[in-house]
Amino acid sequence: MRRVSGLCAAIFVMLTALQASGYADRWDGPAATWFAAERAPEATHILRALTAIGEMSTLTWLTVAACAALFASGMLDSELARGAKDAGIFAGAMIALSALMFSLKAIFARPRPPRALALLEAPQTFSYPSGHATMTTFWCCLVILFLFLRASRRAALMGTVLLAPLAVLVAFSRPYLGVHWVSDILAGTALALAGGLLTADLICKRDVRRYEQKRPADHLA
């Protein structure tokens, strides 16, 4: 996982370099025009609804719900400390990536697409990277991770089937609705995957250490 996380981080760095140099504008401009020309009423209605999932207010409540579920899972399994730590990791990871994402927006200060292309009132924040793509993808990654670690394989696979397309559609909705450039979405997704896989690596190593520490005690008992 750490190698794949490093690869995603490298992709983010490459996209950042292309954006900072202005090279990304060569495809961002034509892509924004293409999205504006190819919109369909049905798709617009669906993507307007889906893009709301990526709002910080929505993700905050979803994070609270996920943390509560992790804590409750620990209680049901008589592993209260594990549940509390899982919830803390989930919340802490979301807060840390959110802070990084807003810091990057302020550093690069990239303007959003022209208002004439937008179907929504664009947020007053800068464009790069996309907060919706970054935070929704990261939230979905964390939920899928904990499903594989704490739930049944069937539940984990069902969660993946539902959440992976959701993350893609929320990310896709931003350039479609004219409030982000395509490179904003690609960079945000790469950043989220890098952070999600790194978090997965840390949690798995913690679980292995915990198991190894518990095994001698169980053996002595």
Contact 195, 45 (CB under 8 A): no
The pTM of this model reads 0.89
Give, in order, the Cα–Cα distances in Å from 132 to each of 59, 95, 170.
9, 14, 7
Identity of the amino acid at 97: L
CB-based burial of residue 22 (10 Å sphere; 0-12 exposed, 13-18 middle, 19+ buried)? exposed
pLDDT along the chain (221 residues), means of 10: 86 94 92 93 94 94 94 79 87 95 94 90 87 96 90 91 96 95 96 91 74 52 47
- Cα separation, 45 vs 52, whole angstroms: 12
pLDDT at residue 211 in the model: 57
pLDDT at residue 219 in the model: 43
